Amino acid sequence: MPPKHRDGDVVAVIPGQWIAHAHTISAYAAFVGAFIVGVALHYQKIVQNEHFGYPIEWFPSVSATIGDRYPERSVFQVFIAICSGPRFLLVFLFYCLVNRKGENGAKWVAGIGVFRTLTCGGWTYVTSTDDHDWHDIFMISYLVATLPWTIGCLVMSPPNPITIRARKYLASAFFGTLVPLVYFFIQHKVHRVPGAYTIYAFFEWSLVLLDVAFDAVTAFDFSSFEVVVKDVKGLSRGDNKRVQDAVLEKEKDKPVGQVFGTNARWEEACDALADVYLGFTFWSILTSLGVLVWYFPLWHMGISGYEVAVMSTISPFMLGISPLRRLFFKNAYVLHLISGVSGLFAYLVQMPELRLGAVSLAVWTGCLAWVATWGRDRSDAKKLEARISAWLIGLIASSAAKYAFQTNNPLWPIMNEVSGGWNKTGIFVFTLAICWLLYRQQRIPDGTQQLQEKPQGSSMLAGLGIGGLVFGLHSLLSDSSTIILWVWEGYPVRGPLAVPHGAWTIFTMGSGLVFGLFYPNIARSWSFYGVGSVGAAVLTCFSHWFGYYGGLALTFYLCAATPILIGNATRFPPARTFFFGFFMYNFMVLFHVWVVAYAFVPGGPLVREHTDWVMATTMLMIGCGVFSALLNSGAPARQKGFEPPPNPAARRQRSYYIYILLFLQLLSASIAYLRFPSYDYTPYHPDNKLITAGIWTIHFSIDDDLRASEKRMESLLQNAELDLIGLLESDQQRIIMGNRDSTQYLAEELGMYVDYGPGPNKHTWGCALLSKFPILNSTHHLLPSPVGELAPAIHATVDAYGTAVDVFVFHSGQEEDPEDRRLQSEYLARLMGASPRPSILLSYLVTKPGEGNYNTYVSERSGMMDIDRSDWDRWCEYILYKGLRKTGYARVSRSTITDTELQVAKFQVGAPDGSGEFVHESQVPEDLRFPQIFNGQGVRGHRYHVFNEPRYFA
C-alpha cells in the first residue's frame, strides 16, 4: 500500500547533476551509436564522397553517418529525441541558476538555448536527403546560435572555478577547431585533395564532442540543485482538495535579468537598430550613385556631363550658413527622411536621367544629414560615438547584404523585383526606422551645444583625413570581394576566394571598429598608422594570400581609425571641414577611375596605370587626419591602455552596437556556408563530348534601361546551353561601377567554374571565363598597349572529357589605336601558336574578316582557324579554334541587355575532322543542335539573327 503524504509533501527529489548527465549520455549515445552502426553496416558507403572513396577516404563525416542510411539514422534520431527532454531542462535550470537580482542576460541566454534545441531537432529530423535546403538552414541556425550561447554561458557562469576553466578550454578548442575544419573542407571541395575529407571528418567529429562536452560541464554548476516534485493537491493520497504551498508561491511582476533590463533599455536597443539602418540606407544610396553615373559615359563612350553628379556629396558646405546650420542640427532626421525617400523610391523612376537626379538628391541630403548629426552631437561623447558606430556598421551591413545578394545591393535603384531587388522591404524597414527615430527625438530631445575648447591645427588636415577615410572605406570595403579580387591571379587557387573568404573581410571590418572603440589611443597612434600603411603597400604590391593579409591589415586599420578621424573632424567647423573632406573624396573617386579610363578623359595619360599613386595618396590623406587627431587627443599618444566608456549608460549603449556587429558576423558566416560552391558541375551534352562555347561583351552588367542585367544574362546563357563563356567588359570593382562582380552570380546560378581575369588593380575593363569543365590552370596577360587602353587576356586550360583544352579570352584595344592592335595581334598569335593542345579563342578583335590583323590571328603562326570564314558581317566578336571538330555556329541577338550580340560555337573533343561544309540541321544529330527556343521570333527579345538560323558543319 503506497504511503500517505501530507499536502505539499515531497514526492520525488532529482539531483540537478542527473539531468546534465542524462543530456550528455543520450547525446553521446546518439552520435556514437550511429557511428558504430554505420561503420558496421555501411562503412564504404558512408566514407564515399563526390570525389573519392575507400581506401583514399576512410573515416566518415558526421552528416554521412547520422543522416544518409538506415538504421543508423534512426539510432541517432531515437537518442536525440531522448536527449531533448534533459536538454530543455538543462536550459531551464541554467536560467534559474543565473537569474539573480541585478544580473542581465538570463532570459536572453535561455532563449538562445531553446532556439538551439529546436534547430537541432530541425536538422535531425529533416535530413539532407529529405530536403537539403531546410537541413542546411536548420544546421546553420544551430551553429550560428552556438556562438551567443557559448558567450552567454561564459559571461553568466556561476563563480565555480572548475566550471569556468573547463568552459574556457572547451570553447577555445571548439572555435579553434573551426579554422582547420574550414581549411580541409576547402582542400577537399576546391582543390580536390585526396584524403582531405577524412581529415575534415576528424575535425567535424571533434566539434560534436566538444559541443556536447561544453554543456556537460553544467553538471558541476548543478551540484547544488535538486528538482523537487511536490504534491500540492493531495492527489497522492486521494485528496482532491487544493492546498497552496507557500514555497511554490511566486511573486507577481518580479523583475528578471534580461539583455537590456527595463523597457527603457529596450528602447535604447531599438535606437541603435534604427541608427544602424539609417547608416545602411546611406551607404546603399551612396554606393549606387556611381553605377548610375557610369551608365552615361558608358553609352556616350566618353565624358557625358552627367559625371557632375559625383559632386552631390559636398552638401555640408551649407552648414556654414548659421540659420541653416541651426535648422539642420535641429531637424537632422528630416534630412535623413528626405534622403531615404528620394534614394529608396528612385527604383520606380523609369527614365535614367531622372533616376540619377533622385539619387543625387538623396546623396546630397544624406551627407548633409550625417554631418549635421555628428555636429549636433559632438559635445556628447556617448551620442557621438553611437552615431559614428551606426554609420560604419551601416557600411558593414551593406557589405554583408551585397555578400548575400552576390555583390548587388538589394536596395539599389538599378534593382527591382525582376532583377532580384528587395526595394519594397527596404522601404518598409526604413519607414519603421525613421518613425522610431522621430519618436526618440520627442522622447529625448537632441541638444545643439557648442564645444567650448578651440581645436588645435587646421581644419584642412582633419578634412583630408575624412576624404581619405571615406574613399578607402568606399573603394575597398563596400564589397567583401574587392580586396580578394585585387590579389586573384588565376588557377590553381593560391589565395582567397570571394566565397567563403568574403566573410573574413566582413569579420575584420567589425573587429577593427571594436578595436577602435576600446583602444582609441592605439588607433590614433603613428605606430598603428604604420600598420595600416604597410597593409596598403602589401595589398598593392603582392598577390595571393600574402597580398590578402595586407588587405586585411588595411581593413582593420581603416575601421579602427573611423571613430578617431570622424570624432576629431567634428571639433572643427563642420561646413569647411566636411565640405573639404568630401571634395577630396570626390577627387579620389575621379583619380581612381582616371587610372584605367585614361584613354577617354583629359589628362588621362598622366595617371595611367597608377593605382599605387591612388593608394599612396589615400594613406597620406589619412595621415593628415591622424596628425590632426593627435593634436586634439587630450591624452598622450604613448598611452595604450584599454579605455572603457565613462559611465554605465555608455557601456550599455556600446554593447548594443557590438551585438549588432556580432549578428552581422554570424550572418556573413552563414551566407558563406550557403553560397559555398558545389564544384560538381557537368556539361550539357557529355555523351557526344560536345563543347558549346560563347563570347559576349556584357557592358558591365548594366542594360539599356539602367537595370542590373545578371538575371537576364543567366537566362540567356542557360537557354543557349553554354559550357564555356568568355565575358568582356566585366570588371566592375570600382566605385563608379558599384564594386560588383557579376561572375559570382552567373557562376553560382549556372553551375560553372569562374576565372575573374585580371583584377581591378590591373587597369583593364576586364575579361572573365566561366566553364562547366574544371579549370586546371589559368594565366592572366596584359597585352602590349603603348598608347591606348590595356588589353586583358586569359589563357586557361580546362579538363574537357579527360582532354586538356586551352581557352583564350581576349579583348583587343580600340579602333583609334592601330599600332596597339597590331602589337596585340602578334602577341596573341605567338601565345596561341605556342600551345600544342586543342584551343578555342573567344575574343573581341576590332577587325574585318580577311583584312589587316585578322590575318595574324588566323594564320600558320597561331595555328587557329575561323569558326566561319564566310561570315563577313563581323567587326568585334570572333571565335577561333584548332584541334577540335567544329559542328555549329550561331549568333544570338542581345535584346536590351547590352550593346553586343552573343556568338556561340559548338565543338566535339576527340572527333575526327569533318569537311567543314555547311549541312542542313536535319542532317545533324539532335544532341549537336542548337536550342530551338531562339528560332523565329525567339524568346525575351533573343533570336538567331544575321543568318536567322544556326549554321552546321559536316
Residues identified as active-site: 811
Instruction: Please choose, from the candidates 688, 708, 690, the residue with its C-alpha nearest in 3D space to the C-alpha of residue 699.
Output: 708
b/e per residue 76-103 (b: at least 16 CB within 10 A): bbbbbebbbebbbbbbebbbebbbeeee
- DSSP secondary structure of 261-296: -SHHHHHHHHHHHHHHHHHHHHHHHHHHHHHHHHHH
d(C-alpha 802, C-alpha 819), whole Å: 40
Instruction: Please choose, from the candidates 85, 115, 112, the residue with its C-alpha nearest in 3D space to the C-alpha of residue 18.
Output: 85
Half-sphere exposure in the Cβ direction for 376 (13 Å, CA): 24
User: Alpha carbon 875 to chain centroid distance?
Assistant: 38
State how far the alpha carbon of 883 is from the alpha carbons of 37, 462, 723, 845, 866, in Å.
53, 63, 18, 21, 12
d(C-alpha 327, C-alpha 95), whole Å: 50
End-to-end CA distance of the chain: 98
d(C-alpha 949, C-alpha 436), whole Å: 60
Give every CB contact of residue 148 below 8 A, 6+ residues apart in sequence.
109, 112, 662, 666
- For 350, other C-beta atoms within 10 Å of its C-beta total 10
Q: What angle do CA 248, 253, 259 make, to 5 degrees?
A: 110
- Specify which residues 768 forms β-bridges with: 727
Q: What are phi and psi of 530, to 5 degrees?
A: -60, -40
Q: What's the chain's Rg over C-alpha atoms? A: 32
d(C-alpha 305, C-alpha 314), whole Å: 18
Contact call for residues 883 and 838 (beta carbons, < 8 A) = yes
Contact call for residues 429 and 509 (beta carbons, < 8 A) = no
| 781, containing H or E segment | strand 775-783
- DSSP secondary structure of 506-526: HHHHHHHHHHHHH-HHHHTSH
Contact call for residues 342 and 362 (beta carbons, < 8 A) = yes
User: Alpha carbon 949 to chain centroid distance?
Assistant: 41
Half-sphere exposure in the Cβ direction for 852 (13 Å, CA): 15
d(C-alpha 777, C-alpha 780), whole Å: 10
Q: What angle do CA 326, 327, 328 make, to 5 degrees?
A: 95
Judging by DSSP bridges, how do beta strands 690-697 and 724-728 pair with one another?
A: parallel
Instruction: Please choose, from the candidates 932, 911, 933, 909, the residue with its C-alpha nearest in 3D space to the C-alpha of residue 922.
Output: 932
